[in-house]
């Protein structure tokens, strides 16, 4: 395993995380760090002030774990993903979103782009923070889920979508968009901003699961649309590692950052299975 593949220098553990490299494949194309994303990005920016990543995909905490109930797999389950998903307050949630977004922006190369997925609980804060930071929002993509959990309260419409915001680093960025590839994937027609994907099935969760795991096909489309083979993709909230799996399948390089040791172990297994 490479000792310092990103040239991060001395990266000591802190009270927040061990800040260590947890996985690296033989050729260094996939790296997973067990680290707090804010501390990790601070070190990346310090060592690479010109920017390091071609693309960032982030699936941040939704701040919706409130002890309520929902239906999952035909069973009633509590809405409690963990302490990381609990809201402290709207102001503190927005402050956190601004902190990690500012660091991701600084860690992007001049023409890099950032994708962020989320529900209404978080995505409007993210969009506002992007505008405050001077990023250029390119699209808001609607991910439509054909078979969402039922609406148990029957007091509003069934939640069946998530939003993805795609943004350039700033207004001067000359971002990449693989228009022809997206048009070909859409049967020769311009691809629209409503995407229909089923939730991850048993095969994608065969080595373990994450409560907000995204479909592999969704990540593949984002990566294929906005990067070239060999580009470096980063995920500050690595989770189950789907971003890394999609990046490797598309011949991109990958760096992930994850704080929860259980998901570090799960992601390591998935990345190792890629060979």
Whole-angstrom distance, CA of residue 235 vs CA of residue 244: 8
Question: pTM of this prediction?
Answer: 0.88
The pLDDT assigned to 129 comes to: 99
Supply the DSSP string of 117-172, one letter for each residue.
EE-TTTHHHHHHHHHHTT-EEEEEEEEE-SSPPP-SS-SS----EEEEEEEESSTT
**Above 50 in pLDDT, residue 121?**
yes
Supply the DSSP string of 16-50, one letter for each residue.
S---EEEEE-TTSSEEEEES-HHHHHHHHHHH-TT
- In what order do the strands lie in the sheet containing 136-144? 20-24, 30-34, 253-258, 232-235, 53-58, 108-118, 161-168, 136-144, 194-196
Q: What share of the chain is helix, strand, coil (3-state, %, to 5)?
A: 30, 25, 45
Residue 220 dihedral angles phi and psi, to the nearest 5°: -60, -40
Q: Are 195 and 214 in contact (CB under 8 A)?
A: no
Q: Which of 2-6, 24-28, 112-116, 167-171 is the least confident region?
A: 2-6
Whole-angstrom distance, CA of residue 216 vs CA of residue 210: 13
Looking at residues 122-129, what average pLDDT do you find? 98
Residue 106 dihedral angles phi and psi, to the nearest 5°: -65, -30
Which residues does residue 76 pair with via DSSP β-bridges, in sequence order? 71
Q: For the segment 7-41, what is each residue's pLDDT rounded down to a tens digit?
A: 888 788 999 899 999 999 989 999 999 999 999 99
Whole-angstrom distance, CA of residue 107 vs CA of residue 99: 13
The pLDDT assigned to 235 comes to: 99
Whole-angstrom distance, CA of residue 29 vs CA of residue 226: 18
Looking at residues 245-260, what average pLDDT do you find? 97
What's the mean pLDDT when you consider all of the chain?
89
The pLDDT assigned to 175 comes to: 99
Q: Nearest 10 degrees: CA dihedral of 205, 209, 213, 219?
A: -40
Domains of the chain: residue spans and CATH: 20-273 (3.40.50.150)
Gyration radius (Cα) of the chain, Å: 18
Q: For the segment 37-53, what is each residue's pLDDT rounded down to a tens digit?
A: 999 999 999 999 999 99
Reduce the DSSP state of residue 205 to 3 states and report it.
Answer: coil
Half-sphere exposure of 135 (CA within 13 A, CB side): 29
């Amino acid at each position: 395993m490479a000792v310092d593949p990103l040239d991060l220098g001395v990266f000591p553990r802190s009270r927040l995380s061990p800040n260590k490299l947890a996985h690296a494949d033989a050729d260094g194309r996939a790296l997973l760090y067990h680290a707090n994303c804010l501390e990790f990005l601070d070190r990346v920016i310090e060592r690479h002030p010109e920017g390091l990543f071609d693309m960032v995909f982030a699936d941040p905490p939704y701040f919706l774990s409130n002890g309520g109930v929902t239906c999952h797999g035909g069973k009633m389950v509590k809405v409690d993903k963990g302490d990381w998903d609990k809201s402290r307050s709207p102001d503190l949630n927005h402050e956190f979103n601004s902190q990690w977004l500012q660091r991701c922006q600084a860690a992007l190369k001049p023409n890099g782009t950032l994708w962020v997925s989320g529900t209404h609980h978080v995505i409007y804060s993210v969009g506002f923070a992007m505008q405050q930071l001077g990023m250029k929002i390119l699209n808001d993509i609607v991910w439509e889920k054909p078979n969402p959990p039922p609406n148990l309260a029957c007091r509003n419409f069934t939640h069946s979508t998530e939003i993805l915001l795609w943004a350039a680093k700033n207004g001067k960025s000359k971002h990449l968009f693989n228009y022809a590839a997206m048009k070909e994937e859409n049967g020769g027609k311009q691809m629209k901003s409503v995407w229909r994907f089923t939730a991850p099935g048993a095969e994608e969760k065969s080595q373990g699961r994450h409560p907000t795991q995204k479909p592999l096909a969704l990540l593949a489309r984002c990566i294929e649309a906005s990067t070239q083979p060999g580009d470096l993709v980063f995920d500050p909230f690595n989770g189950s590692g789907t971003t890394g799996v999609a990046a490797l399948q598309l011949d991109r390089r990958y760096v992930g950052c994850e704080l929860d040791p259980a998901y570090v172990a799960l992601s390591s297994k998935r990345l190792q299975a890629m060979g």
